[in-house]
Amino acid sequence: MTKAPIGSNRSGRKLGQKVKKGKLKASSRRWLERHINDPYVQRAQLEGYRARAAFKLLEIDEKHKILAGAKRIIDLGAAPGSWSQIAAKVTHSTDADPRVAAIDFLEMDPIPGVRFLQLDFLDPEAPEKLKEAIGGAPDIVMSDMAAPTTGHRQTDHLRTMHLCEVAAHFAVDVLAEGGHFLAKTFQGGTERDLLGMLKQNFRQVVHVKPASSRAESVEMFLLAKGFKGRRAVGESTEENAAE
Ligand SMILES: C[S@@+](CC[C@H](N)C(=O)[O-])C[C@H]1O[C@@H](n2cnc3c(N)ncnc32)[C@H](O)[C@@H]1O
């Protein structure tokens, strides 16, 4: 079970540590203090995950049961790699029989069983390259992509929403029937058209805010479960048109 870490220091490091005033700007010092005192950061180190983001996926899975039985997974915006670590584990992926494809424009240290593409997901070649790398229809397309911040909140918001939308269309293009799509989004940010498209293609669409997603952050996750399949949606549209 994914337990929310409490204020103790299972990693042996004390919480509530202060960073000495020095060369750092006040904002950087506040960030560093928050980071080193974050129980999820400490727990990630203890459990061998590359990022605290691991617990977001594990918590979502605990409630919505998306990972069990997945044979192939595509991870969008994968670096530094904690979601890919989980994906490789649940799919029993190995370098000899890789079942996880991951993409990020940043570098990522290799993970056994993960085929990594260092590429912008918005590059026109990215979808084909990911399909080639995964070698079969994935059961999960997951995206933790967030656009690099520009300092202009609305611009950042729109860019991340755009990534979410492109990821959703990619998911509908590649997923195996019954598969799931999970993507980072923002509170109140999911476009009505995107929600409509997902509801048409998936059996269930929900927004999730895991406890490990910082309360002050507007980050949320959009989960679309049970892909109806490309043919099924085409057929139901034809049926509707005939009515
Ligand atoms: C929150 S981090 C992902 C953390 C990751 N889920 C983990 O568990 O380690 C978001 C990532 O999305 C990547 N990203 C943002 N926009 C992207 C794009 N257009 N193409 C590829 N990667 C992108 C960033 O470089 C960043 O590494």
Mind listing the pLDDT tens digit for each residue in 96-144?
999 999 999 999 999 999 999 999 999 999 999 999 999 999 999 999 9
The verdict on domain 51-235 having CATH code 3.40.50.720 is: no
Q: What is the pTM of this model?
A: 0.86
Mean pLDDT of 139-159: 90
From ligand 1's centre to the CA of 15, what distance in Å? 28
Looking at the DSSP bridge assignments, the partners of residue 183 are 143, 222
According to DSSP, the β-strands at 100-104 and 114-118 are parallel
Closest ligand 1 atom to the C-alpha of 121? 20
Give the pLDDT confidence score for residue 215 in this predicted structure.
81
Closest ligand 1 atom to the C-alpha of 106? 25
The pLDDT > 90 percentage for the chain reads 63
- Assess contact for 108 and 118: CB atoms under 8 A: yes
Ligand 1 lined by 77 (C-beta under 6 Å) = yes
pLDDT digits (tens, 9 = 90+) for 14-72: 556 666 667 777 777 777 777 777 788 888 999 999 999 999 999 999 999 999 999 99
pLDDT at 147 over 80: yes
The burial class, CB within 10 Å (0-12 / 13-18 / 19+), for 16 is exposed
For the chain, the domains span 15-47, 51-235
Average pLDDT over the chain reads 87
Give the pLDDT confidence score for residue 213 in this predicted structure.
87
Ligand 1 lined by 49 (C-beta under 6 Å) = no
